[in-house]
Amino acid sequence: MLNKNNQSKAVLHRWRTQGQDEPGILPRAYLNHDANNLGSDRYVEPGDYLRLVNMTLSYKVPKELCRKFKIRSLELAMTMRRIITFTQYTGQDPEISPDIDDPFWFGTDKARTPPPKEYTLSIAIGF
């Protein structure tokens, strides 16, 4: 909440009035104030996850069927990358890259865009 850029929807549940005390409430929002950049363990949460990264399914067409099409061989394959991620992490992507320039902010979520899912279909024909 350092500026007017997009924020997490969690900031909608922040402190607004004197004496407001609710479970899980976020601190007061200060526009363009250094207090928004202070380190805190308030936002630390488990970042464990399980991600299916790479999977390939392939099928070799039987030789008898290939002969009907006057080809020697035919193989169909589909490769999928980053298909699904299991996590209870509330950020965009639980895979946090370390910031080598500042070791004190190791594991800080920079709200990077999650990696895209990729699908590749391939056909191998032998003549």
For the stretch 39-85, pLDDT in tens is 667 778 888 999 999 999 999 999 999 999 899 999 999 999 999 99
Cβ count within 10 A of residue 91: 17
Distance CA 79, CA 54 (A): 7
The predicted structure's pLDDT at residue 72: 94
CB atoms within 10 A of CB 94: 20
Task: Report DSSP letters for 58-87, one per residue.
Answer: EEEPPHHHHHHTT-SEEEEEEEEEEEEEEE
Domain ranges in the chain are: 1-42, 45-126
Q: Round to whole Å and give the CA distance between 74 and 125.
A: 5
pLDDT in tens, 6-37: 777 777 777 777 777 777 777 777 667 776 66
